[in-house]
Every structure is written in structure tokens, then in C-alpha cells.
Amino acid sequence: LVRLRARLARSQGSLGKGLLALLSRDTLDEEAWEDIETTLITADVGVAPTQELVEKLRTRVRVEGVSGDKARTILREELVALVNPGLDRTLKLEGKEGQPAVVLVVGVNGTGKTTTVGKLARVLVAENKHVVLGAADTFRAAAADQLQTWGERVGVRTVRGPEGGDPASIAFDAVKQGIEESADVVLVDTAGRLHTKTGLMDELGKVKRVIEKAAEVDEVLLVIDATTGQNGLTQARVFAEVINVTGLVLTKLDGTAKGGIVIAVQRELGVPVKLVGLGEGADDLAPFDAEEFVDALLD
Ligand code: GDP
């Protein structure tokens, strides 16, 4: 966890430090507050949360002042409150009645779905969990190979079908395989083409419905590329409209200083960020923690 904080600080440190410097100015005039607002919006925090935060900061600074460590304390407390609006971040990885937990991983192509499934499989295997992977992304030709490579590396079975096959039937087969093997968790990688909303809805809806003939779906994780800012938010909104998303995975946080997207996307969807991707490697996945995140901003 210390390492996570250090690594987050590397990409996100400038945001918090910039804010702190602004807030610690001798004279906090209108211009300073505007600069604070701009800094937050530039970091993808979103307009409404930014205004709320600035309002709170202004009040507290007026009442409490900013002498000594006060600016840092106020900023830390208000950022934590914003990043942590009381959402439950635990991954639901207990299947019902001896069945494997089923995790559907959804999102636009290229956001990091397959990589996330591979990394998550590795984490679970390290916890001695029996994992099965389902390669239901039959749209992108190399996706199943890529997933299988992750599976082999981690030592778990990958259930796949013919190229261009029916994603729902592959997902179903993977879950059935998981039940047969008494697996703890089945992770299903899906295709994320945003052709049309109804197309997406039909496809993901069918995948979920068909899986549910065999077992309950315990988590639907929506993967969002943190480097895509507002675009990522728009895509997230579409997915949330077509399927009941239970958690967010924010990938490529290592590639952007705009960590404010964490705040914006949770606010927008009312769903917690449960995991973050911090690189392309097998170890580059971490559970999200609000306090740790804010401390990384301020480190
Ligand atoms: P998918 O199409 O959604 O399955 O996306 P992939 O899993 O194939 O990932 C797309 C690209 O993003 C690959 O080159 C990954 O290595 C890269 N990637 C995934 N997650 C991360 C991350 O957290 N950080 C960085 N820097 N790259 C990532």
C-alpha cells in the first residue's frame, strides 16, 4: 500500500501540491480562488464538485484561517469527503450457495478490460482462489489470445469460443466450467464496441441474462481509461444506462495527472471506484482507497 501511494504520488502529486500552494497564499483574493477552481477543473474534477469544494474551502478558510498546517488539514479533509461519499468499495467475490462468484468486466475497447481481468486473476490466485476466465470479447480478434496468455501466465484456465462466436454462449460456458471445477471466481471479459446504444444493450443484456441461467452475476465492473477525461465519462454514462454497474475500474492513472476523474465519475454514476490500474504490468492493479489517494495527491 505504501508503494501504491508512492506511485500514485508520482502521477498525481502535482494536483494536490498545486492546490496546497494556492491555498497557502498570504492573501486569498478572488484571483486565488479562481486559480483553485481552474486547477480542479483542469484535473477533471468536474464543474459541480469543484464549485462545492471551493465553497466549503472558502467557508473553512474564513472561519479557521490557513496558518501553520491548517491549509493542508482543511484541504485533506474536504478532498477525502469528496472522494469518499460513503460508497461500499468491497468487491463481491463470494458466490451464492457454493457457486463461483461471477464478475463481468465491461467497457469500451482499449480502456484496459483484458489487462484488468489478467491482473485481477493474478491477485485472486495469489489469495489461493480458484479462478476461471471467460473470453467473451469475440469482436476483437486478438482479445481471446491476449486473455489466454494472461491465463497461462497466472495458471488459470481460459474458456474461449470460435472467433466471431456468440459472446453470451462463451460467457455461459465459462460459468458452467467454473461450476464444474468448483471455482471460486469466474472473470468474464466482454467486447466493448460502442456502435449503438441498443446494440450494446442487446449484447451485454444477453450476456448477463444467459449467464444467469447458470449463476448469479455478483459484480459488473466498468473499466474507464483515466486519460480520456470527459470522453471517458460520456462512455461510462452509456454503459451505466444499459447494465447495472456495481463498481468502476479506473485504468492508466499512471498516465495522467488528472486524478480528479475519480471524483467526477463516482459523482456522475453513484458507483464507487473499486480498483485502479497503475501500469501495464501484472502487479499494476490496486484496490482504491480514498484516504490513500488524497494523501498521494498531497505528498
Ligand atoms: P481492452 O481492449 O479494453 O481489453 O484493453 P487492453 O486490456 O487490451 O488494454 C489496452 C492497452 O492499455 C494495452 O496496451 C494495455 O497494456 C494498456 N493498459 C491497460 N491498463 C493500463 C494501466 O493501468 N496503465 C497503463 N499505462 N496502461 C494500461
Q: Tell me, in angstroms, the distance from the centre of ligand 1 to residue 116's CA.
A: 8
Tell me, letter by letter, the H, E, C secondary structure of 165-224. Answer: CCHHHHHHHHHHHHHHCCCCEEEEEECCCCCCHHHHHHHHHHHHHHHCCCCCCCEEEEEE
Q: Does residue 113's CB lie within 6 angstroms of at least one atom of ligand 1?
A: yes
Measured from the CB, is residue 278 less than 6 Å from ligand 1? yes
d(CA 31, CA 284): 39
Where is 225: in which H helix or E strand? strand 219-225
**Mean pLDDT value across residues 255-279:** 94
255 Cβ closer than 6 Å to some ligand 1 atom: yes
Give 220-253 pLDDT, tens digit per residue.
999 999 999 989 999 999 999 989 999 999 999 9
Helix axes 47-64, 30-42, angle to 10 degrees: 140
Check the CA dihedral 148-105-211-156 and report its sign.
positive
- Return the H-helix or E-strand segment holding 126: helix 113-126
Q: pLDDT, tens digit, for every residue of 162-207?
A: 888 899 999 999 999 999 999 999 999 998 876 677 787 788 999 9
What pLDDT digit, counting tens, does each position of 281-298 carry?
999 999 999 999 999 888
Of all protein residues, whose CA lies closest to atom 19 belonging to ligand 1?
112
Query: What is the number of the ligand 1 atom nearest to the C-alpha of 276?
Result: 23
Any ligand 1 atom below 6 A from CB of 225: no
Q: What is the ipTM of this complex?
A: 0.99
Q: Which atom of ligand 1 is nearest to the CA of 255?
A: 26
| Whether pLDDT at 67 is above 90 | no
Looking at residue 47, its pLDDT comes to 94
pTM of the predicted model as reported, rounded to 2 decimal places: 0.95
pLDDT exceeding 70 applies to what percent of the chain? Answer: 99
Report which of 159, 160, 154, 150 is spatially closest to residue 130, judged by C-alpha positions.
154
User: Relative to the CA of 109, which ligand 1 atom is closest?
Assistant: 2
Query: What integer pLDDT is reported at residue 97 of this predicted model?
Result: 85
Q: Are 105 and 223 in contact (CB under 8 A)?
A: yes
CA-CA-CA-CA torsion sign (203, 252, 246, 232): negative
The number of the ligand 1 atom at minimal distance from the alpha carbon of 279 is 24
Q: Tell me if 118 CB under 6 Å of ligand 1.
A: no
C-alpha cell at 34: 479562481
**Has residue 141 got a pLDDT over 80?**
no
Is the minimum distance from the CB of 270 to ligand 1 under 6 angstroms? Answer: no
Label residue 1 by pLDDT band (50, 70, 90).
low
Q: Is the pLDDT of residue 94 over 70?
A: yes
Percent share of the chain, pLDDT over 90: 76
Span of 2-11, 61-70, 78-87, 97-106 with lowest mean pLDDT: 2-11
Task: State whether the beta carbon of 224 lies less than 6 angstroms from ligand 1.
Answer: no
